[in-house]
Amino acid sequence: MVLDHKTLLGRRLLALAVPLGCVLLAGCGGDGELPKEKNSVATSAPEKAGAIDSTAADRVVMQQLAQENAPRVVTFQDPGIGEPSAYLDAKQPMTTFNLYNAKRDWNEVPEDIADSIGDAFNVRTVSPELYRLAAERLSEQDTFKKRDLTTALGVLVGQEAEQNKQRNLVKLSSDDWAPISLSSYDPQAKGFRIDNCLFSDKLDYTDEEKRNQTSLARASKLRCYINPGPTSYYLGFQGGSDVLLDVPSESLAREIESSKGNLKIDIYGYVKSVGRERFAGEFGPQRFVLIGPQRIDIKSPDGKIIYSKNI
């Protein structure tokens, strides 16, 4: 499952709009009596000062709302390119889930974690015990047995997280499940770009782009995420929009351009941040792991690397 950033942004704007509406309405009270004309000159300065104070207060409220609706995030430095065996498979159902729980620096109670897992159907083949506990918890009606299952889930998740504390490298390979393609060759920049919303750093459309369907269709893609495991956990990339795969050799550029549809792409990266959405200061359900790209390999259909770039 893929979630585009527009969906998440819409939910955050809704959370912002409700309290803001309450703030604006709060200033509409009073007895409705208009000031008398003879007092208009005398009160103009205080009124102006009041307007300034009101504007400043509104600004403070907006800043507070923005802070309360900003996701909780912890960031990490690039550890450098590692050995191929050190990279976790981004499409493996437990990768995003384990990295999030291993890297977050805030506490989440077992009930919260268990609710985020749901039925754990996507991890049934790679973590049978997690799947069993989650499925039993969902169907259990006995309060005490459900509490025991919740506790057991929390313990298991903690153990998995501990095993992944030192893991911070991730690899995403293109295939039918995660098709990743190249843009057309840019003769001015002399190179290609990754043509996929996973590599977009764009989080919203501009007013001009939203003006009509035609301008919206021409707009560049918003960032999207992959969701191979539990449904509340998403993995995406940050910093991909700036990546140019420069190919100064015209013969190689021609080879890549002519066979773009059949090429395979490997993207190596590191955990740049993990985060969780918040609304009015409270955690929302969506959790995110963002990967910073380190290296990109372009491979021929038979698996031979024909181009590689360190970022």
User: Parallel, antiparallel, or unpaired for β 224-225 and 233-237?
Assistant: unpaired
24-33, 157-166, 265-274: range with lowest mean pLDDT:
24-33
User: Parallel, antiparallel, or unpaired for β 169-173 and 88-89?
Assistant: parallel
Confidence of residue 14 (pLDDT cuts 50, 70, 90): very low
Contact yes or no for 278/68 (Cβ under 8 A): yes
Nearest to 127 by CA among 170, 104, 150, 95: 95
Burial pattern 103-131, b for ≥16 Cβ within 10 A else e, equals bbeeebebeebbbbbeebebbeeebeebb
> Which pair of tokens denotes residue 308?
């590689």
Average pLDDT over residues 90-106: 97
Confidence of residue 2 (pLDDT cuts 50, 70, 90): low
Where along the chain do its domains lie?
A: 71-103+168-310
Contact yes or no for 119/138 (Cβ under 8 A): yes
Res 219: pLDDT = 86
Q: Which amino acid is at 200?
A: S
pLDDT tops 80 at residue 6 = no
165-196 tens-digit pLDDT: 999 999 999 998 888 999 999 999 999 999 99
Query: ∠ CA 146-147-150 to the nearest 5 degrees?
Result: 90
In degrees rounded to 5, what are phi and psi of residue 252? -70, -40
Nearest to 118 by CA among 103, 134, 129: 134
Q: Which tops the pLDDT comparison, 67 or 277?
A: 277
What does the alpha-carbon distance between residue 241 and residue 199 come to, in Å, rounded to a whole number?
6
pLDDT tops 50 at residue 16 = no
> Which pair of tokens denotes residue 115?
């609710």
What does the alpha-carbon distance between residue 65 and residue 17 come to, in Å, rounded to a whole number?
10
Nearest to 194 by CA among 269, 298, 88, 90: 298
What does the alpha-carbon distance between residue 161 and residue 154 come to, in Å, rounded to a whole number?
10
